[in-house]
Structure 1
Amino acid sequence: MAVPKRRMSRANTRSRRSQWKAKAVQTVACPQCRSPKLPHAACTVCGTYNGRQVLEV
């Protein structure tokens, strides 16, 4: 099993961890009611997806 020969420095550890970022949730405007919704998902406000009514609200 591979084991590190030397301890990783604090600068190297922190520069590696600097890429761990939380991203904001991407939203798109619903083409029917213009409210923000998740992409590739039915709108929770009007219940449409891909121009069709798929949910009863």
Structure 2
Amino acid sequence: MAVPKRRMSRANTRSRRSQWKADNVTLQEEKINGVSQRMPRRLVKAVKLGLVDLDRR
């Protein structure tokens, strides 16, 4: 594990942490029961198997 050699100031720590940003989830269009719906790619299989109900939001 990396160990800092000297103390980092609070301002430097916070500005370094603020650079991280989450990406928006890309939506994929799928036809479920003849209805076109947009959903995250990781949920497509669960929706097709009936494990997730998109109408219940």
Larger C-alpha radius of gyration, 1 or 2? 1
Greater strand proportion: 2
Which range, TM-score by smaller chain? 0.3 to 0.5
Give me the TM-score of the superposition, normalised by structure 1.
Answer: 0.45
Greater helix proportion: 2
Give me the TM-score of the superposition, normalised by structure 2.
Answer: 0.45
